[in-house]
Amino acid sequence: MKRFLLFTYLFIFPMLIFSQVNFTGYLVDEENNKMRDVTINLYEDNNLVSSDKWAKKFSYDLELEKYYTLELIKEGFIPKRVAISTFEGDKGADPFMFVMELLKKREGVDESDLDFPSALIEYKKSKGSFNFNVPYSKSIKKEQSEVLNVED
């Protein structure tokens, strides 16, 4: 039994740890000021796995071969979602760092039009790292601008 536990500790446990990748985000408002008291809900598939308040930055170690959604919520700001696909990710991938900008709520803006994830992060085999899906981000940003400008 001792050998089994030793084997598990020395070989299996490190494999589990290294089958994760770190995602760190910095929280800012429209003027690029660091933000406090932002609630971040982490979903694996569509199941809530954690809900924490963060200040200035947040960090999650996410397992590979899964689909996650980060939902950022702060009073007086439009909620924001980020989709993260760790499928096809590499165990040795560098941590992924990014900035999340929250926009102040605007009177007359229907937030349901802004319900889709504002960014998609996925593994790019050609680059050997995680990165934003740029075409998706551009199309969402264009839609977001139209909704916010039309309603102002």
C-alpha distances out from residue 19 to 64, 87, 114, Å: 6, 11, 33
SS (H, E, C) 72-90: EECCCECCEEEEEECCCCC
pLDDT in the model for residue 149: 77
pLDDT in the model for residue 9: 53
More confident of the two residues 31 and 113: 31
pLDDT digits (tens, 9 = 90+) for 13-66: 444 445 899 999 999 999 999 999 999 999 999 999 999 999 999 999 999 999
pLDDT in the model for residue 147: 79
What is the Cβ-side half-sphere exposure of residue 152, based on CA atoms within 13 angstroms?
8
Domain extents in the chain: 20-151
pLDDT digits (tens, 9 = 90+) for 68-90: 999 999 999 999 999 999 998 87
What is the Cβ-side half-sphere exposure of residue 39, based on CA atoms within 13 angstroms?
12
Q: Please state whether the predicted TM-score (pTM) of the whole model is above 0.85.
A: no
pLDDT in the model for residue 121: 96
CATH code for the domain defined by 20-151: 2.60.40.1120
pLDDT in the model for residue 5: 56
Q: What is the pLDDT confidence band of residue 151, given thresholds at 50, 70 and 90?
A: very low
